[in-house]
Structure 1
Amino acid sequence: MKSLLRALLAIVLVAALACGGAYAWFLHWLDVPGPSQQNVTLIVPRGAHVGQIARLLADAGVAGDARLLELAAWQTGLGPHLKAGEYAFAPGETPRAALERIAAGRVVVHHLTIPEGLSTFEIRRLVSGDAALSGDWPKEAVPEGSLLPETYNFIHGDTRGELLARMRKAQQDLLARLWPERAADLPLASPEQAVILASIVEAETPLAAERPRVAGVYLNRLKRGMKLQADPTVIYGITHGDPEQQRPLTRADLGQDTPWNTYANAGLPPTPINHPGRASLAAVLQPEQNDFLYFVANGRGGHVFAETYDQHLRNVAAYRASQKR
């Protein structure tokens, strides 16, 4: 009887040691680098249960064994907190770190930059071409000039409509701040007119430092009842923002009868010709105070400004001569 008891005790002891050893090995495994030797990005779908998530991680090489990873999710208490989303895992990320990443919802953040001065046509191409966004481009029209060019962050699965709504709100918020602070005596009746003029300034110069001066020129012309005579408005009347339709302007183009032809029509065109950025909007509402009425390219990316037409003609002649050298 005593010998049988000793044998049973020995068996229990061995089993306990074996279980303890297995548990210690399991705890060690949780913090051992995973098998992947490269960055791994995967998407945890909505509604996936712990076993499915463990299988996704194992199949992607983040963890070596899906069953152990599922057990680890419950042992660590992270199982009920695993979240859907897109996740990026570094080479050799441990099972514990991978589970903690998903439980914390540290998803991949995408970035989409909308450059200043793009048309709705061009923005649609950018937004529609980003595979991380979902949904279609909205069916309702996106008016020219209604979005704020900027870099926007989003996560996988955000819709194109949601992103456009953020762009629209960003522009509305900016105008709500800038319009009340505008300079006195501007010949602009509304924020919408400010956006129209800002889109012309945006198209005329790539130099941020030059925009308040260009804005001043156009505002001076508006105050005097002079036609704006802005080439970019004529181009928009022909292309409607489609870059594939753009070509060098001809003298005949300047006489085309479109609402955007500021050589033929006085005042502002009926709509913006692009989506202007912060600097151009600010330049129109806080322009440089000057007496310039004309400007022409200087051949170096900027412009030469003139107060009189005779001076402007001399600047034009100088520019043309420089182009022949």
Structure 2
Amino acid sequence: MWRNVASNAFSFLVVILFLLGGIIIWGQSTYKAEGPLENAICLQVKPGSNMRRVSQDLAEQGAVSSAAIFRMGADYEEKTSQLKAGSFLVEAGTSMSDIVETVTKGGASTCGTEVVYRIGVNRVSVQVRELDPVSNRFEERAEFVPGTDEVPEVYVETKAQADTRFRIALAEGVTSWQVVNAMQAMDVLEGEAGEVPAEGTLAPDSYEVRPGDGRASVLERMAAAQQARIAEAWEARDPDLPIESPEELLTLASIVEKETGVAAERRQVAAVFVNRLNQGMRLQTDPTVIYGITKGEGVLGRGLRRSELRAETPWNTYVINGLPPTPIANPGRASLMAAAQPDESEFIFFVADGTGGHAFAKTLAEHNENVARWRQIEAERAAAQSEETTSGSGN
């Protein structure tokens, strides 16, 4: 009798273990399988939250099929204690395993609201925008010019939120003075910036910052990034360039940067200047004249006068031979590579063509024809503008 009871008990235990094993396998499969979420969401994990609250939030939003399996999976992977606060983008169909990885790996928000401090050549602005997780596109909530516009309430509210991301976006062609001047007004940063970095030594890019970051440390990051780009371009340079050092390459790249905003033209523009250097011709480029006037401290805001084209400054390439003594702006990676690897061409002239780009020429006669066409375009535009002004002032 006892033998039968023991046999039955053993059989029952085997069945229980078999069922338990099946449940574990099913749970593991569910934990790693594609999730039920149909549209991407932005998951907010508040400071002080825990994995139970996160799992419940995910279940309510339809991102996980089981809050319990989500928590057990996180426990099994020993990641429960690694939960980070922030706003995290959860794509449609993301598995529980991948969601756990997202909310525990680094703590950097990947969605939600962000504040972008944009440092442009002609304008500094602050933009508050929010990522739409479905379209994966940012929607602007507010934009203002610091020191000029009234600070919107949404900026104050967003800045105070714990999961807000902050970025500084440097446009290609800004000067070091413009960067430092703009950063001094950013209330998210602390400390003094120190001396204005040498012209050209800051990399135009987007930099994520945190409230309380030091201005000097952010500038160091920008400088380190630019130094790496300069080294990369110098290493990849054409061997027959009339350039003797990385500093000269940086100077040439800054001139290319200021001469054209058309990406496809950068290597052509660089080729013109290289051809001129090889032939002993002066570069004769207006941006260097402007830099000699402003020293990079602000925008000239008007056309150049003939007297300024003739005035002697260290940067006026209508007067000096070769390259100016320093860069005239902070060039981006594309301009650095254009200066290092210019097109092979015989062009030694270029002028605006009315489309935002330039017309290139090999001879002075061709160049004069291009200049005449540009003057005609300028005259037609001025006449059209005058006509609009006259018609707009009538009764």
TM-score, normalisation: structure 2: 0.56
Q: Does 1:163 align with 2:222?
A: no
Counterpart of 1:297 (choices 352, 360, 364) is 352
Would you say the 8 A contact 1:239–1:246 is kept in 2? no
Q: Does 1:278 align with 2:326?
A: no
Shift in alpha-carbon separation, 1:233–1:106, aligned structure 2, 3 A: closer
Deviation of residue 81 (structure 1)?
8.5
Alignment partner, residue 146 of structure 1: 201
In the TM superposition, 1:53-92 aligns within 5 A as none
Alignment partner, residue 376 of structure 2: 321
Deviation of residue 208 (structure 1)?
0.8
Deviation by residue 1:256-278 (Cα, 9 ceiling, x = unmatched): 11100000100000000000001
Deviation of residue 255 (structure 1)?
1.0
Deviation of residue 243 (structure 1)?
2.5
Alignment partner, residue 302 of structure 2: 247
Deviation of residue 121 (structure 1)?
1.9
* 1-structure distance, mates of 2:295, 2:375: 29
Q: Does 1:221 align with 2:276?
A: yes
Counterpart of 1:187 (choices 242, 247, 251) is 242
Alignment partner, residue 100 of structure 2: none
In the TM superposition, 1:254-269 aligns within 5 A as 254-269=309-324
Would you say the 8 A contact 1:293–1:307 is kept in 2? yes
Would you say the 8 A contact 2:176–2:196 is kept in 1? no
Deviation by residue 1:260-300 (Cα, 9 ceiling, x = unmatched): 00001000000000000011000000100000000000011
Would you say the 8 A contact 1:111–1:154 is kept in 2? yes
In the TM superposition, 1:88-167 aligns within 5 A as 105=107, 108=163, 109-137=165-193, 139-167=194-222
Shift in alpha-carbon separation, 1:315–1:82, aligned structure 2, 3 A: closer
Runs of 4+ in 1 over 3 A off after TM superposition: 39-42, 80-83, 86-89, 101-109
Supply the AA of the counterpart residue of 1:189: E
Supply the AA of the counterpart residue of 1:204: E
* 2-structure distance, mates of 1:172, 1:296: 32
SS at match of 2:166: strand
Would you say the 8 A contact 2:254–2:331 is kept in 1? yes
Alignment partner, residue 293 of structure 2: 238
Shift in alpha-carbon separation, 1:267–1:82, aligned structure 2, 3 A: same
Would you say the 8 A contact 1:299–1:319 is kept in 2? yes
Deviation by residue 1:119-163 (Cα, 9 ceiling, x = unmatched): 1121123322332222121x2331110111011112222211111
* 2-structure distance, mates of 1:201, 1:104: 39
Alignment partner, residue 31 of structure 1: none
Would you say the 8 A contact 1:255–1:264 is kept in 2? yes
* 1-structure distance, mates of 2:321, 2:45: 56
Would you say the 8 A contact 1:235–1:246 is kept in 2? no
Shift in alpha-carbon separation, 1:213–1:128, aligned structure 2, 3 A: same
Alignment partner, residue 175 of structure 1: 230
SS at match of 1:223: helix
Q: Pairwise CA RMSD of aligned residues?
A: 3.1
User: Structure 1: which 5+ runs fail to align?
Assistant: 1-38, 45-52, 55-79, 90-100
* 2-structure distance, mates of 1:181, 1:244: 33
* 1-structure distance, mates of 2:219, 2:301: 26
SS at match of 2:375: helix
Shift in alpha-carbon separation, 1:119–1:106, aligned structure 2, 3 A: closer
Alignment partner, residue 252 of structure 2: 197
Counterpart of 2:342 (choices 264, 287, 305) is 287
Deviation of residue 244 (structure 1)?
4.5
SS at match of 2:351: strand
Supply the AA of the counterpart residue of 2:341: Q
Which has the larger displacement, 315-324 or 255-264? 315-324
Would you say the 8 A contact 1:183–1:286 is kept in 2? yes
Would you say the 8 A contact 2:290–2:300 is kept in 1? no
Would you say the 8 A contact 2:289–2:316 is kept in 1? yes
Shift in alpha-carbon separation, 1:116–1:106, aligned structure 2, 3 A: closer
User: Structure 2: which 5+ runs fail to align?
Assistant: 1-42, 50-80, 89-102, 110-162, 381-395
TM-score, normalisation: structure 1: 0.68
SS at match of 1:252: helix
* 1-structure distance, mates of 2:236, 2:350: 27
Alignment partner, residue 128 of structure 2: none
Counterpart of 1:311 (choices 359, 366, 372) is 366
* 2-structure distance, mates of 1:125, 1:198: 23
Count of matched residue positions in the alignment of Structure 1 and Structure 2: 248
Shift in alpha-carbon separation, 1:140–1:104, aligned structure 2, 3 A: closer
Shift in alpha-carbon separation, 1:106–1:218, aligned structure 2, 3 A: closer
Which has the larger displacement, 217-226 or 109-118? 109-118
